[in-house]
Amino acid sequence: FGGSTTLTTTGALHFQTGKTAFWNVQVTGLESVKTISGSAITFAAEDVKLAQGMREQLLKPKSAEQKLAIKHAAVNFTGDLGADFAGAQILQFKKQDDAAVRAAAAWDDKTLYLAWEVKDATPWINGATDPFMMYLAGDTVDFQLASDPKADANRSEAALGDLRLSIGNLQGKPAAVVYRKVAAEKHPHVFSSGVIKEYPMDSVTVLGSARIQVTKRDKGYTIEAAIPLADLSLQPKAGLALKGDIGVTHGGTDGQRTRLRSYWSNQNTGIVDDAVFELQLQPKNWSALEFQK
């Protein structure tokens, strides 16, 4: 959120930083900084090779090592994720202990089944009055998908076939919204924030065909959703490998604003208070989704 550094005419160093407050801080002690005498440091060829290997390992995204197996099965919703998705791979991820998530997926010839079990002290509260803005206003569950297996796996921008399915509590009723940055069928909408004034998306639609069951409990909730494959432009078959992600947004205690974004694959989700950066898709940070029999 900005800042500045100033060296005064008297040689004093100050920096200014902050968000809801601005702090003018003087840096002291620099007069004690001194050069350490000694011999030159020598890097041999093997040192350079070792450093390059360490750098590559540190930069290797988590998504390159993960895979979600999505089995072929019809699912009946009871609110019990473990029982309803018996035999399925159950994802577990969290940024905080009190915001832990379990998630699962399955598919049959017409439907994609998704489930999220979420720890939340103020469960399933969202302050949005516009369905397009639920992702910004509190609790939602999220599924992101690259439906085109031929798309560049390392792309930083969304391409044709990439989508985000967001499900939230819209004034007491569950609602599902599909966002597509690039789409053949246009339902355009423009988003804006303090940093990016205009961020157009080719298509943003409310998905009326989704079947959603909400099960609330003390300090948590479970969402189970049945999404027609046709609405996701998805044609799965055994052995098909795509990329995608599953996540959750958590609202603050007032239920009016998203304060935590937690995802299985994409870890670049620290930004809040910005409507565009919270919306953007990052396919390069997604992991493998493998459809199985």
- Pairwise CA distance, residues 107 & 105, whole Å: 7
Half-sphere exposure of 203 (CA within 13 A, CB side): 20
**How confident is the model over 211-234, as pLDDT tens digits?**
999 999 999 999 999 999 999 999
> For residue 115, how many other CB atoms are within 10 A of its CB?
26
Reading the block at residue 285, the tokens are 């940070």
DSSP conformational letter for 57: H
Reading the block at residue 174, the tokens are 């569950």
Reading the block at residue 28, the tokens are 């002291």
Q: What is the pLDDT of residue 28?
A: 93
CB-based contact 195:276 (threshold 8 Å): yes
Give the CA dihedral 153, 282, 155, 244, nearest 10 degrees: 20
Any idea which residue has 């840096």 for tokens? Answer: 27
- Pairwise CA distance, residues 19 & 203, whole Å: 33
Q: What is the pLDDT of residue 136?
A: 97
> For residue 145, how many other CB atoms are within 10 A of its CB?
24
Q: What is the pLDDT of residue 5?
A: 92
Q: What is the pLDDT of residue 50?
A: 94
Q: Which of 182, 132, 185 is nearest to 158 (CA)?
A: 182
Q: What is the pLDDT along the chain (293 residues), one digit of tens a residue?
A: 578 899 999 889 999 988 777 888 999 998 899 888 888 888 999 999 999 988 877 766 666 679 999 999 999 999 999 999 999 999 999 999 999 999 999 999 999 999 999 999 999 999 999 999 999 999 999 999 999 999 998 898 999 999 999 999 999 999 999 999 999 999 999 999 988 999 999 999 999 999 999 999 999 999 999 999 999 999 999 999 999 999 999 999 887 899 999 999 999 999 999 999 999 999 999 999 999 99
For CA atoms 209, 108, 70, 98, give the dihedral sign. positive
| AA letter at 92 | Q
The CA-atom distances, in angstroms, between 70 and each of 85, 98, 227, 244, 290 are: 10, 27, 14, 12, 6
Q: What is the pLDDT of residue 253?
A: 82
For CA atoms 118, 120, 124, 126, give the dihedral sign. negative
Q: Tell me the backbone φ, ψ of residue 89, rounded to 5 degrees.
A: -75, 125
Dmax (CA) for the chain in angstroms is 75
- Pairwise CA distance, residues 230 & 228, whole Å: 5
Q: What is the pLDDT of residue 92?
A: 97
With b meaning 16 or more CB within 10 Å and e meaning fewer, what string describes 192-214?
ebeeeeebebbbbbebeebebeb
Q: What is the pLDDT of residue 168?
A: 98
Q: What is the pLDDT of residue 1?
A: 59
**How confident is the model over 21-69, as pLDDT tens digits?**
788 899 999 889 988 888 888 899 999 999 998 887 776 666 667 999 9
> For residue 233, how many other CB atoms are within 10 A of its CB?
17
50: Cα separation from own chain's centroid: 33
